[in-house]
Amino acid sequence: MGICEAANDQVNIPCVLIVDDEPTLRRLMRRALAGLGLQIVEAADGFEALEKFRIHDVVAVVSDVRMPSMNGLELLEHLQGLAPEVPVILVSGSEEVRSRAGAQAIGAFDFLRKPFNLLELGHSVRGALGEARPAPSLSVA
């Protein structure tokens, strides 16, 4: 199971990479997923995400579709080449991806339309990690 950093005191805790150009949304997602006992690494665009993906032992990625520089669809393509076993959850409020089936057809694990519920995000990430048990309530305080 991937961990964010070998030097981190919290070993054996799954590491999830959150990629979004909106700092406020990244912070909300980080807090919600950390509440599930996950370690979080953040990136503001696809290029930064690839750097962090190569450094950290990431087990799942949550990525916005519309971002500057490299968008989420391009990032998905790169990640499929690097580590096709790592699930990618796409999130978007735009029309590049229109449905969960459309996202899965291009290789994503799941798709969430913005604005999404943080419980829905937690459920999707737990599914990506192979966890079937119900998600506890998420806190973003």
Tell me which DSSP letter residue 109 carries. Answer: S
Q: How far apart are CA 1 and CA 3, in angstroms?
A: 7
Q: What is the pLDDT along the chain (141 residues), one digit of tens a residue?
A: 445 654 345 557 889 999 999 999 999 999 999 999 999 999 999 999 999 999 999 999 999 999 988 999 999 999 999 999 999 999 998 777 777 888 888 899 999 998 999 999 999 999 999 964 334 444 444
Q: In the prediction, which pLDDT does 137 show?
A: 40
Q: How far apart are CA 22 and CA 43, in angstroms?
A: 10
pTM: 0.85
Q: All domains of the chain, ordered by start, with CATH?
A: 15-128 (3.40.50.2300)
> How far from 134 is each of 37, 62, 64, CA to CA, in Å?
14, 19, 25
Tell me which DSSP letter residue 120 carries. Answer: H
